[in-house]
Structure 1
Amino acid sequence: MLRIHFTSEDIGRIRIAAGPVPAWEMLLSLHALHGRADHGVFGIWRTRTLGLLAPSARLLLRLAPARGYSPDFLTPTVDNDVESAVEAVQSTARTRLRADLALLAGRSAAAASLLRPLAEGEAEALRHLGSAMRLYHQRALAPAWERIHAVVAAERAARAADLMAGGVERMLGSLHPQIRWESPVLTVAYPVRKELHLGGRGLVLIPSYFCWARPIALRDERLDPVLVYPANRGLQRLVEPADRSGAGCLARLLGATRAAVLEEIAAAEGITGADLVRRLRISPASVSEHATVLRQAGLVFSHRTANTVWHLPTPLGRAVLDGTATSDLPRLAQFHPTDRVPDTVEVRKNSALSHLSPATGRSFG
């Protein structure tokens, strides 16, 4: 659990990044490259991108392992200028390079040896890293940047609307299903216990296309505080399948609104009925009806925490969205109860939600 402590000064210094932050999208997309080839959102992009990578990308993939720590210096607090991000990374102080890369290497002497030139701040190693970042962005991200920007802009607009309609309390409370605002503390479901005191520095909120499953913060509390959280709640792909003949089949099968409810539930990795009402702009009664039908069909799972009902996708629901249900139906259908599905499953009030979602690539311990 991550607990972010605000002062009155911090409340006035909250801001949302103006657009997708290249350094963060780069890091988190590298995590996605380590992921499943059949991922419903990243799979096609991953397959195509792996075929376009230059040899220099091996350094970036080494710096951004699928699991474990990724160096904080790779994600400087600059908004949407790729060249500024590269310059900030290349100008990282040697003491910080050493500290961050020592954490990355851990007890591996081989890894430490490979990263030593970079850890020592050698000019050639830093030039190589900068070139690798530029080329990776050019080949992996730039072709889809307009779409990434559109997804992040839509999320930013939604948060601005929350701020105007309900103030900071509503904006912070609606960031993500795994984020809870209870003034003056923002609590985030997290793989480790951590207390972050902002101390008047404020907080930069960074909606990210490639952030998946749970929000992310920097490990080093001395750095400018940021909270990166998933923006792509509508499961929008960067690259569409080559065969689009089946486009819209899910909407025709379930109905457009019910399909949208299923997509929102799957994208959010856990969402409340109130959030569905706000995101889809439909009535609470309609949300309840659609969630009940989806639950009874075995496509979603619902559980109650205190007075709040949370909805999550089942394996069958994910397969339907990913287009894999035909071949996997016999196995996945075993998840679906043969009898009536209960309306909700009661869990303890303080049960953590984080174990219900797969971990993202970055470690925070």
Structure 2
Amino acid sequence: MLHIHFTDSDLAHTRVAKAPDPLWEIAFSMHRLQTDQGRWAFADWRRAVSGRVREQGLRPVLSTVLLPLFPRTSYFPDFLTPQLASEGLDAGLEAVMATPDQQVRHEIGLLDQVAGAPAWTRRLSERDTREALVQALRAYHRALIDPFSEQIQAHLEADRAVRLRDLLNGGVPGLLQGLAPLMQWRPPVLEVPYVAGRHHLHLDGRGLLLLPSYFCWGNPVSLADPSLPPVLAYPLKRRLLPDATADRDRTPLAVLLGSSRATVLRSAAQGATTGELARAAAISAPAASRHANALREAGLITTHRHGACVLHTLTPLGASLLRGAAAQ
């Protein structure tokens, strides 16, 4: 369990990332390639990228360079996910190049203790070797992450819509409380499921960056070095597969609204794009749009445009209807 300790100053400086962090997404996506955990949620992505890896000749660099640096273990080097990556891939990769050599050597040593690091990683303190790593990270992102950027951004915007509602209703404590059941806010401590043992992170006035991640799965992840700017990456909520919701067809809400429209309403509870509504209800996007229009006209959901994304969230009336249906 990770215990994150907040002061009043920390609450004032806590925020939610406004965009996906490309280097954290690279790290977590490599974990998805190394485990079957959450396989159903990433099945389409895995099928698509398997061909891209082969077509673009990435398999050797993936197996010998990248995966050994991002093992599915309790640790991978902090310098691979610098804070500046929040400003974009180029800024993040420049920060990787600018990491002090001493820090790189220290973190590679930690990686070697935890998972065993290939001998070549000891040369990452050398500029040529690190430049080759940066080129590999850029090629990986271009082939396996960038083609899915709109989908990743849409999921993140849906999560931000939920966090914004919690923030408006209860301030930063409400925002932290809304992270349940994955995390528990017990003022002034946020309890986070983590690697074995008890760990404590004292923010000391620096605040916390909450980073929703498309490829993160299971427990949230933080940096190992407590002296670095605090960040907590956590998995986005995933909706059940369509066949897992079949038993809802006989619920009172489905009888009232119809099965597909009831599923659309439930999906909007966490904030969702039209495409996500369609996938959740196993219907076409135009059909999902029609259901969303009907629910909006009934005052049950509201719709906002964020850039290229259209996000649907519940109104207070819609939330009350769902709570009433759940109580039956």
**Which TM-score bucket, shorter chain as reference?**
0.7 to 0.9
- 8 Å Cα contact 2:266/2:322 also seen in 1: no
The two structures, once aligned, show a CA RMSD in angstroms of 3.0
Higher mean C-alpha deviation, range 29-38 or range 139-148: 29-38
1:188 alignment counterpart: 192
1:77 Cα deviation from its structure 2 partner: 1.0
1:52 Cα deviation from its structure 2 partner: 1.8
- 8 Å Cα contact 2:210/2:233 also seen in 1: yes
1:66 alignment counterpart: 72
SS at match of 1:43: helix
2:325 alignment counterpart: 286
Whichever residue aligns with residue 183 of structure 1, its letter is P
1:220 alignment counterpart: 225
SS at match of 2:83: coil
1:2 Cα deviation from its structure 2 partner: 0.8
Q: In the alignment, does 2:123 pair up with 1:123?
A: no
1:169 Cα deviation from its structure 2 partner: 1.5
Q: In the alignment, does 2:176 pair up with 1:172?
A: yes
Whichever residue aligns with residue 9 of structure 1, its letter is S
- 8 Å Cα contact 1:17/1:205 also seen in 2: yes
1:100 alignment counterpart: 107
SS at match of 2:40: coil
1:292 alignment counterpart: none
1:90 alignment counterpart: 97
| Cα deviation code 1:128-170 (max 9, x no counterpart) | 1110111001000000001100100111121011111121111
Cα separation, partners in 2 of 1:176 and 1:249, compared to 1, 3 Å: closer
1:10 alignment counterpart: 10
Cα separation, partners in 2 of 1:172 and 1:38, compared to 1, 3 Å: closer
1:327 alignment counterpart: none
Whichever residue aligns with residue 206 of structure 1, its letter is L
Q: Which one of the candidate residues 153, 157, 176 is aligned to 2:157? A: 153
- 8 Å Cα contact 1:20/1:80 also seen in 2: no
1:253 Cα deviation from its structure 2 partner: 7.1
- 8 Å Cα contact 1:261/1:287 also seen in 2: no
| Cα deviation code 1:232-291 (max 9, x no counterpart) | 43369xxxxxxxxxx7895697334369869999xxxxxxxxxx999x8343231244xx
SS at match of 1:227: strand
2:120 alignment counterpart: 114
SS at match of 2:148: helix
- 8 Å Cα contact 1:152/1:208 also seen in 2: yes
2:213 alignment counterpart: 208
SS at match of 1:210: coil
Size of the aligned set, in residue pairs, is 265
Matches of 2:265 and 2:62, distance apart in 1: 36
Cα separation, partners in 2 of 1:102 and 1:263, compared to 1, 3 Å: farther
Matches of 1:10 and 1:147, distance apart in 2: 32
After superposition, residues 204-353 of structure 1 pair within 5 angstroms as 204-234=209-239, 254=249, 255-256=259-260, 257=262, 281=319, 282-289=321-328
Cα separation, partners in 2 of 1:149 and 1:285, compared to 1, 3 Å: same
1:216 Cα deviation from its structure 2 partner: 1.1
SS at match of 1:181: strand
- 8 Å Cα contact 1:277/1:287 also seen in 2: no
1:7 Cα deviation from its structure 2 partner: 1.0
Matches of 1:249 and 1:179, distance apart in 2: 25
1:114 Cα deviation from its structure 2 partner: 2.7
2:62 alignment counterpart: 57
- 8 Å Cα contact 1:176/1:229 also seen in 2: no
Cα separation, partners in 2 of 1:25 and 1:166, compared to 1, 3 Å: same
Matches of 2:170 and 2:228, distance apart in 1: 30
After superposition, residues 12-31 of structure 1 pair within 5 angstroms as 12-31=12-31
Using structure 2 for the length normalisation, give the TM-score.
0.73
1:300 alignment counterpart: none
Which portions of structure 1, spanning 4 or more consecutive aligned residues, are displaced by more than 4 angstroms?
247-253, 258-265
| Cα deviation code 1:294-348 (max 9, x no counterpart) | xxxxxxxxxxxxxxxxxxxxxxxxxxxxxxxxxxxxxxxxxxxxxxxxxxxxxxx
Whichever residue aligns with residue 97 of structure 1, its letter is V
2:202 alignment counterpart: 197
- 8 Å Cα contact 1:25/1:210 also seen in 2: yes
- 8 Å Cα contact 1:277/1:283 also seen in 2: no
Matches of 2:103 and 2:217, distance apart in 1: 27
Unmatched 5+ residue regions in structure 1?
237-246, 266-275, 290-365
SS at match of 1:177: coil
SS at match of 2:41: coil
Using structure 1 for the length normalisation, give the TM-score.
0.66
Unmatched 5+ residue regions in structure 2?
250-258, 271-313
Name whichever structure is richer in helix by fraction: 2
Whichever residue aligns with residue 224 of structure 1, its letter is P
- 8 Å Cα contact 1:69/1:104 also seen in 2: yes
